[in-house]
Structure 1
Amino acid sequence: MDAWEELVTSALLGTDRRPPALAGATAGDAPVALLGAAALHTVRRRAGLRPGPAAEPPEPAPEDARRPLPEPARRRLGQLLAGRAAPTPSGGRRGAAPDLAELLPQWLVAANEHGYKAPASALPALLDAARARTDLRPQALTLAGPRGLWLARLNPEWRFALRGGGGRAALPDVREGDAVRALWEEGLFAERVALLASVRAEDPAAALELLGSTWAAERAEDRLMFLDSLRAGLGGEDEEFLEAALSDRSRNVRSTAAELLSALPGSALAGRMAKRASSCVSLDRTEGAVTIVVEAPHECDAGMQRDGLIPTPPTGRGERSWWLGQLVEAAPLSCWPARFGGRTPEEIVALPVADDWRGELHAAWCRAAVRQRDAAWSRALLGAPAAPPATGPGTSSLAERAKLLSTLPEEERARWVASFIAAHGLPEAFQLLGVCAVPWARPLGGAVIDALDIARDAGSYPWSFSGVMGLAERCLSPDATGQLEALTALPAEPEDASPGAGGYWTEAFQRLVSTLHLRAAMRDELRGPIE
């Protein structure tokens, strides 16, 4: 030990100031001699250590009964995971190569639809990808399966997978009462969420009983997430549990319970809200023309607050209009035709509204249509796609329109957005495209390609359409490559065009075509030889 301390001192002070006491060492070779002596002492010190006790080996990884990926698809997953963090090309130009990072989410969805499991060798990279991108987590953890959750327990950086990040654990059969109860009481949060969904799909009453058995002891944030999981398959049998949750000590839990109850048109809460809202909105025929008149609430009493109304408005909102909007949003839409003389939603929305209450009333109806998934009211509030958003019914907000569109059947949604693009162009339609089913139906895909062609012919740069181009790469059907091939040639630029714009557009269309070809290959690889 003394010799080691002497070597350390010489190294810190320098061999010139403190020459090491080494046999045969001269001033010239003292540094080399010191390093050689240190290496010798290091080996001697390590050889003198006793081995520590062996750590307990981890429990074996659970089995995953799902089928493995076909070999081409397994290689593709490796390429996508390796390319998800590829550097941006120099100069900021993406070039004509597909963006693998944007194709990974779509590949994961398709692989899970086929019921595949991730290769064991890909699990670390898959968990790293899910850690870096929260949007990947549900699909990535589903593909990783029970072995992914097992592996996540061994690395603190992957702990996100153990707390509601998605994925499916190896769940017991819902008929095995003891196993279900044990997992519910002792499992990780992600496992408990998956278990609740599994039991609810088979026996909703048993799922509610399971949830109620530990409800009072759950943390507020866990109660909120468990309650939110009741959205899937929400029905009348959930009303009693949700009514009790209206008295929860957590404000967020109370609000969510009220929202779910208002989505049940036959619930007692919906009836109370319908009575309150109807007392505020009525018809006036005194002036000859039928007009909707509004008398907003003058107070937000304790009963209204228990049913989910928030008494304090946001900054800049008046109290009465804030209370009115919440009442109308929570009232069942089925109450309004009777209130307005049997009129249809289209006829009700077309009625004039007195005293500038139209915007507030229509916005609340929009939120109610989305909450209650009412396609008839959504159609009425959307109006004709060719009508300017500022003059149509419902709302001029594209974000609100996108929510209304989400309640319509997929084909009708695609037709409506295609007509909107034809009338108003792509910049106004970006948010609407995001709610359309993927791959886009032929009319919608054709409308997007035509609009991009028109934008190219206008002579502007494609950068202002980069968001739409990114969506097109992910959402266009691979069958659209035939329509796009003609756009990959370098066009003749008009005199008033932006310099080099044609070349940028050609590069963008080439990248779009190559991405669609790659997506088609990915689709075929996942189908495998047996499908």
Structure 2
Amino acid sequence: MIDETTTSATWDDLVSAGLLGTERRTPPVPGRAGRSAAGALLDAAAVSTVRRRAALRPAPARERPVPAPSDPRPPLPPAARRRLGLLLADRNGTGGGHRRGTAPDLTELLPQWLTAATEYGYRAPEALLPALLDAARARTDLRAAALAFAGPRALWLARLNDEWKFALRGAGSTAALPGPDDPEAVRALWEEGLFAERVSLLASLRRRDPAAGRALLARTWSTERAEDRLMFLDSLREGLTVADEPFLEQALSDRSRNVRGTAAELLSALPGTALAGRMADRARSCVTLARIEDGADSSAGPSSDTGDTGAWTLVVEAPRECDAAMQRDGVVLRPPTGRGRRAWWLGQLLEAAPLDCWSRWLGGREPAAIVALPVADGWRTELHDAWCRAAVRQRDVAWTRALLGSPGAAQPGTGPGAGTYGTGPAANGPAPAATPATTTGAAPDTPAGSSRDLARLLTVLPEDERARWVAEFIAAHGLSDAFRMLGVCAVPWSEPLGRAVVDALDIARDAGSYPWSFSGVMGLAERCLDPAAADRLDMLTATPDEPADGSPGAVGYWSEAFQRLVGTLRLRATMRAELTP
């Protein structure tokens, strides 16, 4: 190793000694035992050359980084390793434009490959870790899967390169974490670890011992930053039980509004909590059942007369103020632009109220019968939207089925989650008179005013029922409003759902439809159809005669799209086989 004095001479001094020769001029560098003057001069010239090319001044060497941690997972099979290299090399995509040709889009297959490799328990090849981190830096949708597959060595590399610092801010590492049986290691990592490691530790503890995870968080809660408290609080969703209620009740008084809102959301998802009871009392005072007599409404309490739904209506009276107690329980005071204050407060109260209370308050009616009741004064959309959000939050399957209703009876629209629909039996019932939306809280009962997200609502149903509902919806209404619904269905799609999608695409092609409007659904089909369907779809790859009233060039596009679909399905089958141990 060249010592620091070797580089103390100037470049001109070294050049002069070299030109005149070491016999005529002594090199301006110290010699070494057993090393000639000429050798010392060449050593000094080599060090100086490297320094000049790097544009750096000589300095003491930095401390060497600690060795990379071990990753005990087995290596990828050779074929799968080569496949990953190809996927990462093509991560920038195949370029823009509408015509993608028949080649599979490797960019869209990378997330699926990473998920499968992690499921098999393989470790990432060391030589491909930089490319894997670069891909995750460029695409946020890859980060969780990429970091889980990359393992602890990704975090080690991220500490050495500022461009990969994102890996230290999020969870996803599979680094070995201490368990509840090693409290000292847990304490040390929680107090000294990186944020990503702390999030992973809390999530791991919650899966194994929810009480231990909650106690760990409570120990440092008051000293955490607001954004960190929010992330940590969100980790309590896993393993959430009524034992978490006291901690969440304290979080309702947090100085951060976002933390208070998340705490209230978690509490309202738990049955029997004090917050759920307070919200139930407020909601009950806002919605009452009234009997319709000779064209006039008369207030009435709950009735067991559920056979005559036409003689009863729901009357809504939105809150007139949002007091401090409501705000502490998570009700946001200021509405979004375009929303009335009273309607905004009402929606939040109804969303947090336990759904199982409505049957007791409304004469023992089942959810489907409650949804079928007419609602006075144009409040039906606001009321049903809030019930939809409550069903998602409380994961209530019975209410979800009632609010979704029959797929064939749903009326496609333009709201979030693939449209807004009249939900359940109420969609065919009497439509109450609409009233203008004002700051007093009135909301028109029209599809345009709905905010329900049917894609989120569908996630409450069991996977097979969800796929069946979407398949029936597509069979009845086509694909125009089904894109986000398809996105929440389990992959690979079930056979009935896959068949419904392919049949709808085939019908669109035969009808001469504008082909590029279906490119999103076609992309989903490439990633989500069962690869076993490839042979059955071969017949769709032929180029038929162009219909007289069709879009110019459409048949060529459709043929390319189906060829790409079949090729992608076969490639996915090959990728899965390459990963199989």
Query: d(CA) in 1 for partners of 2:276 and 2:580?
Result: 46
Structure-to-structure mapping, 1:266-277, within 5 angstroms: 266-277=272-283
Match of 1:292 in 2: 314
Compare 239-248 and 113-122 and name the one that shifted more: 113-122
Match of 2:408 in 1: 386
Aligned residue identity for 2:474: I
Identity of aligned residues (%): 70
Cα deviation code 1:295-320 (max 9, x no counterpart): 11111111111100011212222111
Cα deviation code 1:189-246 (max 9, x no counterpart): 1100111111111211111110011111100000000001111121111111100000
Alignment check: 8 A CA contact 1:168 1:191 kept: no
Query: d(CA) in 1 for partners of 2:158 and 2:50?
Result: 36
Query: d(CA) in 1 for partners of 2:99 and 2:135?
Result: 24
Residue of structure 2 aligned with 1:123, choices 111, 125, 129: 129
Alignment check: 8 A CA contact 1:398 1:431 kept: no
Residue of structure 2 aligned with 1:480, choices 533, 552, 555: 533
Structure-to-structure mapping, 1:150-189, within 5 angstroms: 150-189=156-195
Match of 1:85 in 2: 92
SS of residue in 1 equivalent to 2:315: strand
Match of 1:31 in 2: none
Kindly indicate whether residue 258 of structure 2 is the aligned counterpart of residue 252 of structure 1: yes
Cα deviation code 1:19-65 (max 9, x no counterpart): xxxxxxxxxxxxxxxxxxxxxxx969936989532221111111112
Match of 2:430 in 1: none
Could you tell me how far 1:149 is from its partner in structure 2? 0.7
Could you tell me how far 1:173 is from its partner in structure 2? 3.0
Match of 1:109 in 2: 115
Structure-to-structure mapping, 1:217-228, within 5 angstroms: 217-228=223-234
Cα distance 1:293–1:122, how it changes in 2: closer, same or farther (>3 A)? same
Query: d(CA) in 1 for partners of 2:211 and 2:221?
Result: 15
| Gap runs ≥5 in structure 1 | 5-41
Match of 2:16 in 1: none
Alignment check: 8 A CA contact 1:199 1:207 kept: yes
**Cα RMSD between the aligned structures?**
2.4
Residue of structure 1 aligned with 2:515, choices 452, 462, 468: 462
TM superposition outliers: structure 1 runs of 4+ over 4 Å: 1-4, 42-45, 47-51, 394-399
Query: d(CA) in 2 for partners of 1:92 and 1:285?
Result: 58
Q: Report the TM-score when normalising by structure 2.
A: 0.81
SS of residue in 2 equivalent to 1:448: helix
Kindly indicate whether residue 390 of structure 2 is the aligned counterpart of residue 368 of structure 1: yes
Match of 1:417 in 2: 470
Query: d(CA) in 2 for partners of 1:498 and 1:278?
Result: 55
Query: d(CA) in 2 for partners of 1:498 and 1:314?
Result: 42
Alignment check: 8 A CA contact 2:412 2:481 kept: no
Match of 1:514 in 2: 567
Q: Report the TM-score when normalising by structure 1.
A: 0.89
Query: d(CA) in 1 for partners of 2:388 and 2:516?
Result: 33
Compare 280-289 and 101-110 and name the one that shifted more: 280-289
Match of 2:376 in 1: 354
Alignment check: 8 A CA contact 2:467 2:494 kept: yes
Match of 2:306 in 1: none
Structure-to-structure mapping, 1:131-142, within 5 angstroms: 131-142=137-148
Kindly indicate whether residue 459 of structure 2 is the aligned counterpart of residue 406 of structure 1: yes
Query: d(CA) in 2 for partners of 1:214 and 1:3?
Result: 57
Alignment check: 8 A CA contact 2:98 2:516 kept: no
Residue of structure 2 aligned with 1:147, choices 153, 158, 164: 153
Kindly indicate whether residue 203 of structure 2 is the aligned counterpart of residue 197 of structure 1: yes
Aligned residues: 494
Cα distance 1:286–1:161, how it changes in 2: closer, same or farther (>3 A)? same
Match of 1:75 in 2: 82
Aligned residue identity for 1:393: T
Alignment check: 8 A CA contact 2:87 2:107 kept: yes
Match of 1:60 in 2: 67
Query: d(CA) in 1 for partners of 2:471 and 2:373?
Result: 28
Query: d(CA) in 2 for partners of 1:460 and 1:318?
Result: 41
Could you tell me how far 1:414 is from its partner in structure 2? 0.6
Cα distance 1:46–1:359, how it changes in 2: closer, same or farther (>3 A)? same
Cα distance 1:177–1:58, how it changes in 2: closer, same or farther (>3 A)? same
Compare 195-204 and 397-406 and name the one that shifted more: 397-406
Cα distance 1:495–1:155, how it changes in 2: closer, same or farther (>3 A)? same
Query: d(CA) in 1 for partners of 2:570 and 2:253?
Result: 55
